[in-house]
Amino acid sequence: MLPSIFGENLFDDFFDDNFGMYPMWNGRNPLYGKHAKNLMKTDVRETEDTYEVDVDLPGFKKDELSVELKDGYLTISAAKGLDKDEQDKKGKYIRQERYAGACSRSFYVGDVKPEEVSAKYEDGILKLTMPKQVKREQPKSSSIAIG
């Protein structure tokens, strides 16, 4: 086991970090480390009359998730809290890689009512289903009188 000063992986840190020259580009997130870019991966499926959205949220509990619909935007939020001072019953932590934090994603869904959206969370995947907007038919042609 490597000392915690080396981060998640000594060799990945050495070759991917450009030797610490560009700290704003190193992509670290205190909640999920350098793997934060893999968080909340989303699949959107279109069926004949609905859209189905599957969001990967592994490690979260149902009560740590929130889905809000406001001004045509569907926002999915997840927050996790861990007590860093907590001690194990058998001793103290030597290295702790899990942290508290929050993440969210928003999608424009248009004029959908909250009661038309169904949500289900199972096996680390949030599944949302919402109806497609009804397209208004435009007149094929119309004449406008010039006055």
For the chain, first and last CA: distance in Å? 84
Q: Which residues share a beta bridge with 118?
A: 129
| pTM, entire model | 0.62
Is the predicted pLDDT of residue 93 greater than 80, yes or no? Answer: no
Percent of the chain whose pLDDT exceeds 70: 59
Is the predicted pLDDT of residue 37 greater than 80, yes or no? Answer: no
Calpha distance 79→102 (Å, rounded): 4
Is the predicted pLDDT of residue 84 greater than 70, yes or no? Answer: no
More confident residue, 132 or 11: 132
Q: In a 3-state reduction of DSSP, which class is residue 129? A: strand
Query: For the chain, what are the domain ranges?
Result: 50-85+93-132
Q: What is the pLDDT of residue 2?
A: 45
Domain range 50-85+93-132, its CATH number among 1.10.3720.10, 2.60.40.790, 3.40.50.300, 2.30.30.140: 2.60.40.790
Q: Of 53, 14, 59, whose CA–CA distance to 36 is shortest?
A: 59
